[in-house]
Structure 1
Amino acid sequence: MSRILVTGATGYIGGRLAPRLVEAGHEVRVLARDAGRLRDVPWADAVEVVQGDLTSPDDVRRAVEGVDVVYHLVHAMAAGGDFAAAELAQAQHVAEAAKAAGVGRIVYLSGLHPEGERLSKHLASRVAVGEALLASGVPTIVLEAGIVIGSGSASFEMIRHLTEVLPYMPAPRWVRNFVQPIAVRDVLHYLVAAADLPPEVHGAYDIGGPDVLRYGQVMNGYALEAGLPQRPIAPLPVLTPWLASQWVNLVTPVPRAIAMPLIGSLLHDCVVEERRIDAIIPPPADGLQGYRSAVRLALARERSGDIESSWRSASAEGAPAEPLPSDPRWSGATVLEDARERVTDASPAAVWSVVEGIGGDRGWYSVPLLWSLRGLADRLVGGVGLRRGRRDPVRLREGDVVDWWRVERLERGRMLRLRAEMKVPGRAWIEFRVDPHPDGDTDGTRYRQRAIFLPSGLTGRLYWWSLVPAHGVIFEAMASRIVAAAEEAESATSLDREAGEARAVAAEPAAAEPTGAEPTGAEPADAEPAAPGREERGR
Structure 2
Amino acid sequence: MRILVTGATGYIGGRLVPRLLAAGHEVRVLVRRPERLRDVPWAASLDVVAGDLADPDAVDRAMAGVEAVYYLVHSMGGRGDFEAVELEIARGVGDAAFRHGVRRIVYLGGLHPEGRLSRHLRSRAAVGEILLASGVPTIVLQAGVVIGSGSTSFEMIRHLTEVLPYMPAPRWVRSLIQPIAVRDVLHYLIAAVDVPPDVNRAFDIGGPDVYRYGQLMNGYAVEAGLPQRPIAALPVLTPWLAGQWVNLVTPIPRRLAVPIIESLQFDCVMHDHDIDAVIPPPAEGLLPYRTAVRLALERERAGEVETSWRNAEVAGAPSDPLPSDPEWAGHTVFVDERERMSRAAPAALWRVIEGVGGENGWYSFPLAWALRGWIDKLTGGVGLRRGRLDPDTLHVGDAVDFWRVEAIERGSFLRLRAEMRVPGRAWLELSASEATGRPGDPGDASSHWSSGSTPGGSRYRQRAVFFPRGLAGRLYWWGILPFHGVIFSGMANRITAEAEADERARKR
**Alpha-carbon displacement from aligned partner over 1:21-71 (angstroms, at most 9, x marks no partner):** 001110000000111111111211111110011111111111111000000
Gaps of 5+ in 2: 439-453
> Structure 1 residue 380: deviation in Å?
1.0
> Structure 1 residue 80: deviation in Å?
3.0
Structure 1 match to 2:200: 202
Distance 1:68 1:34, change over 3 A: same
Structure 1 match to 2:478: 465
> Structure 1 residue 328: deviation in Å?
5.7
| Paired residue type of 2:488 | F
- Tell me the percent identity: 68
1:94 & 1:193 partners in 2: Cα distance? Answer: 21
**Alpha-carbon displacement from aligned partner over 1:58-115 (angstroms, at most 9, x marks no partner):** 1111111100000000111154321111111111111000000000000000000112
2:388 & 2:97 partners in 1: Cα distance? Answer: 36
**Alpha-carbon displacement from aligned partner over 1:433-466 (angstroms, at most 9, x marks no partner):** 1001114996411011111111112221111111
1:82 & 1:410 partners in 2: Cα distance? Answer: 35
Count of residue correspondences: 493
1:202 & 1:443 partners in 2: Cα distance? Answer: 68
1:230 & 1:444 partners in 2: Cα distance? Answer: 54
2:208 & 2:381 partners in 1: Cα distance? Answer: 36
The question of whether the paired residues in 1 share the 8 Å contact of 2:77 and 2:120 is answered with no
Structure 2 match to 1:407: 405
1:480 & 1:296 partners in 2: Cα distance? Answer: 42
| Paired residue type of 2:75 | A
Cα RMSD over matched residues?
A: 1.3
1:156 equivalenced with 2:169 (yes/no): no
**Alpha-carbon displacement from aligned partner over 1:467-509 (angstroms, at most 9, x marks no partner):** 11111111111111111111111111101xxxxxxxxxxxxxx
Structure 2 match to 1:507: none
The question of whether the paired residues in 1 share the 8 Å contact of 2:436 and 2:456 is answered with no
1:89 & 1:40 partners in 2: Cα distance? Answer: 32
Structure 1 match to 2:489: 476
The question of whether the paired residues in 2 share the 8 Å contact of 1:335 and 1:455 is answered with yes
The question of whether the paired residues in 1 share the 8 Å contact of 2:254 and 2:380 is answered with yes
1:277 & 1:44 partners in 2: Cα distance? Answer: 32
| Paired residue type of 1:485 | E
Distance 1:311 1:366, change over 3 A: same
1:129 maps to which of 116, 127, 130 = 127
**Alpha-carbon displacement from aligned partner over 1:373-418 (angstroms, at most 9, x marks no partner):** 1111111111111111111111111011101101011100010000
The question of whether the paired residues in 1 share the 8 Å contact of 2:403 and 2:420 is answered with yes
**Alpha-carbon displacement from aligned partner over 1:229-259 (angstroms, at most 9, x marks no partner):** 1110000000111111010010111111111
2:371 & 2:241 partners in 1: Cα distance? Answer: 22
Structure 2 match to 1:533: none
Aligned positions of 1:313-392 closer than 5 A: 313-327=311-325, 330-392=328-390
The question of whether the paired residues in 2 share the 8 Å contact of 1:323 and 1:408 is answered with yes
Structure 2 match to 1:187: 185
| Paired residue type of 1:481 | R
Aligned positions of 1:299-310 closer than 5 A: 299-310=297-308
The question of whether the paired residues in 2 share the 8 Å contact of 1:178 and 1:214 is answered with yes
Q: Secondary structure at the match of 1:387?
A: helix
Aligned positions of 1:3-402 closer than 5 A: 3-77=2-76, 79-115=78-114, 117-327=115-325, 330-402=328-400
Q: Secondary structure at the match of 2:188?
A: helix
Q: Which moved more, 1:130-139 or 1:458-467?
A: 458-467
The question of whether the paired residues in 2 share the 8 Å contact of 1:306 and 1:392 is answered with no
1:455 & 1:114 partners in 2: Cα distance? Answer: 45
Gaps of 5+ in 1: 496-539
> Structure 1 residue 317: deviation in Å?
2.3
1:443 & 1:123 partners in 2: Cα distance? Answer: 60
> Structure 1 residue 12: deviation in Å?
0.5
The question of whether the paired residues in 2 share the 8 Å contact of 1:146 and 1:208 is answered with yes
| Paired residue type of 1:198 | P
Q: Which moved more, 1:414-423 or 1:310-319?
A: 310-319
> Structure 1 residue 174: deviation in Å?
2.3
Q: Secondary structure at the match of 2:384?
A: coil
The question of whether the paired residues in 2 share the 8 Å contact of 1:80 and 1:257 is answered with no
1:290 & 1:61 partners in 2: Cα distance? Answer: 41
| Paired residue type of 1:166 | L
| Paired residue type of 1:119 | L
1:270 & 1:156 partners in 2: Cα distance? Answer: 16
**Alpha-carbon displacement from aligned partner over 1:261-292 (angstroms, at most 9, x marks no partner):** 11112111111121111111111111111111
1:443 & 1:75 partners in 2: Cα distance? Answer: 52
Structure 2 match to 1:416: 414
| Paired residue type of 2:126 | A
1:426 & 1:410 partners in 2: Cα distance? Answer: 23
The question of whether the paired residues in 2 share the 8 Å contact of 1:313 and 1:399 is answered with yes
2:78 & 2:238 partners in 1: Cα distance? Answer: 21
> Structure 1 residue 305: deviation in Å?
2.2
Q: Which moved more, 1:303-312 or 1:3-12?
A: 303-312
> Structure 1 residue 329: deviation in Å?
6.2
TM-score by length of 1: 0.90
| Paired residue type of 1:337 | V
Aligned positions of 1:438-449 closer than 5 A: 438-439=436-437, 443-449=456-462
2:494 & 2:160 partners in 1: Cα distance? Answer: 33
> Structure 1 residue 124: deviation in Å?
0.3
The question of whether the paired residues in 2 share the 8 Å contact of 1:79 and 1:316 is answered with no
**Alpha-carbon displacement from aligned partner over 1:499-523 (angstroms, at most 9, x marks no partner):** xxxxxxxxxxxxxxxxxxxxxxxxx
TM-score by length of 2: 0.95
